[in-house]
Amino acid sequence: MSGVLFEDIFEVGKLNPDGKKFDRVNRLECKGVTYDMDLLLDTNCDIYPVKEGERLTFVIASTLDLSGKPDDGTYKPLGDEVSLADKYEYVMHGRVYRFDQQKDTKVQVFASFGGLLMRLTGDQRHVANIEVDSRVFCLLRRNA
C-alpha cells in the first residue's frame, strides 16, 4: 500500500482563468488525461512556475511514507529516508474540507493547502478513497 489516493496526468489549459488575484499565486485550470477529471489548483508561482499547455502528474496521498504507513501529523525534518516527495517537484500539505455531490456520479472534492485551494471534479469512483476532514498531500511533477 502506497498511500496514494488519486493520481492522473493533467494538462494545464489556462492560468488564472478569472484573472490574477495574488502576486505569488497562480490558479491552474487543468483537464485530466486518463480519467477526464477537471482540476482547479492554486500553486505558489515563485516556487513552482507552470505554463499553459504543460502536462503535470498530480497526486493526492494520505502519507509520504513509501510503505503506506499513516502520517501521524508530526513534523519530521528532512533526513536520509526516501519518501514519496522525492519523486515530485512540488509538494503541499492540507486538508479536505468539502465534498459536493453533483448530478449522477459526479462529485467535487475541495481541499485547502494553507490557503491555496484545490477543486477536483469528476466521477466519484476515482476519488472514493478521499474522505472529508482528512489530511492529504498534493504532489506535482512535470511530464516530458
Domain limits at 8? 4-142
Q: With contact defined as beta carbons under 8 Å apart, do 65 and 54 qualify?
A: no
Average pLDDT, stretch 87-115?
A: 95
d(CA 15, CA 3): 29
Find the DSSP H helices in 1-144.
none
Indicate the helix (H) or strand (E) that contains 40: strand 38-44
Q: Which three cell numbers stand for residue 54?
A: 504543460
User: How high is the mean pLDDT of the chain?
Assistant: 93
pLDDT range class, residue 144, cuts 50, 70, 90:
low
Q: With contact defined as beta carbons under 8 Å apart, do 119 and 100 qualify?
A: no
d(CA 79, CA 67): 17
pLDDT reported for residue 47? 96
pTM: 0.92
pLDDT: which is higher, 100 or 67: 100
Rounded percentage of the chain residues whose pLDDT exceeds 70 = 96
Q: Which three cell numbers stand for residue 67?
A: 510503505
Looking up residue 92, the CATH number of its domain turns out to be 2.40.50.140
How many domains does the chain divide into? Answer: 1
Q: In this predicted model, what pLDDT tens digit does every residue of 49-97 receive, in sequence order? A: 999 999 999 999 999 988 888 887 777 766 678 889 999 999 999 999 9
Q: Which three cell numbers stand for residue 90?
A: 512540488
Average pLDDT, stretch 19-35?
A: 95
